[in-house]
């Protein structure tokens, strides 16, 4: 009786062992293989790589839209006059000089809603020592060009720097043949494209002293110093925006 029971137990154990010998290899095939003892899992052919899954999920995820500053501070010309000043300062004295300040607004001939608009000029409004100054640039019958050169005169510093002159030919090596004719709208867009709201700007100009809020002559002048706008004046590569009338030759 005891021997029969023992024999039955042995038979069942042998049957269980044969079954496990079939099942274990199948289970092993479904698991990743650990290589080199460093915990790096090498996927078997046909298995899914979790790194690929994560990468695909990241690629499909909706990325947040960058704000205006991240896209380079892109603002349309229409928007650059929205914060135009209603009152102006009195910093300009009678001299050729360089105005260093921060761009508050760019007022086009079409922006008649702003204070003191000009039908044939763009008004560059700069904040200088808490006051807004007007620098008026002719855009009618004008040819335009740019050149990258170091800032002439002292380093950029907010203020009205008197007795600062510029000559296109002598200082920048620019001749009349380097300019391209432009329509009024093209000249407006040319200025708008190079100047960002809130950016530092330098402007070589002339003030007659009668209106200490304003300066002009920001173009080639035959008998006295020239005028120019300088974008990015504190950078390694300032950009001069230069203007001449279509009939000027030099």
Residue-level pLDDT at 65: 38
Question: Within 10 Å of residue 125's Cβ, how many Cβ atoms?
Answer: 24
**Who contacts 193 (Cβ-Cβ below 8 Å, separation ≥6)?**
none
Residue pair 207/97 in contact by the 8 Å Cβ criterion:
yes
- Of 137 and 60, the one with more pLDDT: 137
Q: Tell me: pLDDT of 129 over 60.
A: yes
Closest CA to 221 of 241, 246, 248: 248
Q: How confident is the model at residue 48 (pLDDT cuts 50, 70, 90)?
A: very low
Nearest to 150 by CA among 166, 128, 126: 166
Residues 137/219, Cβ–Cβ less than 8 Å: yes
- The one-character DSSP state at 216 is B
Span 115-135, mean pLDDT?
Answer: 97
Query: Rounded CA gap, 80 and 70, in Å?
Result: 18
Q: What percent of the chain has pLDDT above 70?
A: 71
pLDDT at 46 over 60: no
Model confidence pLDDT, tens digit, residues 161-176: 999 999 999 999 999 9
Render pLDDT for 130-147 as a digit per residue (tens, 0 to 9).
999 999 999 999 999 999
- Residue 73: the pLDDT is 53
pLDDT per residue over 66-90, tens digit each? 333 333 457 899 999 999 999 999 9
Residue 40 reports pLDDT greater than 80: no
Quick one: pLDDT at residue 134? 98
**Alpha helices in 85-180, H assignment, sequence order:** 168-172
Q: Look at residues 76, 193, 194, 205 and name the one whose alpha carbon lies nearest to residue 128.
A: 205
Q: What is the mean pLDDT of residues 191-215?
A: 97
């Amino acid at each position: 009786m005891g021997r029969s029971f023992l024999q039955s137990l042995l038979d069942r154990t042998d049957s269980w062992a044969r079954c496990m010998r079939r099942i274990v290899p199948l289970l092993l095939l479904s698991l990743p293989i650990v290589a080199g003892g460093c915990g790096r899992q090498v996927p078997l052919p046909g298995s899914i790589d979790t790194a690929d899954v994560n990468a695909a999920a990241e690629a499909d995820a909706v990325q947040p839209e960058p704000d205006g500053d991240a896209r380079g501070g892109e603002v349309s010309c229409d928007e650059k006059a929205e914060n135009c000043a209603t009152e102006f300062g009195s910093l300009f004295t009678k001299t050729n000089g360089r105005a260093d300040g921060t761009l508050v607004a760019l007022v086009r001939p079409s922006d008649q809603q702003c204070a003191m608009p000009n039908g044939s000029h763009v008004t560059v409004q700069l904040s200088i020592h808490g006051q807004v100054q007007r620098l008026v640039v002719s855009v009618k019958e004008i040819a335009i060009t740019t050149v990258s050169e170091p800032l002439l005169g002292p380093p950029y510093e907010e203020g009205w720097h008197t007795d600062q002159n510029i000559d296109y030919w002598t200082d920048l090596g620019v001749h009349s043949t380097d300019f391209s004719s432009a329509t009024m709208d093209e000249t407006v867009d040319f200025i708008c494209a190079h100047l960002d709201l809130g950016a530092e700007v330098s402007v070589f100009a002339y003030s007659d002293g009668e209106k200490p809020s304003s300066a002009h002559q920001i173009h080639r002048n035959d008998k006295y110093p020239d005028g120019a706008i300088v974008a990015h004046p504190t950078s390694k590569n300032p950009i001069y925006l230069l203007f001449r009338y279509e009939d000027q030759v030099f």
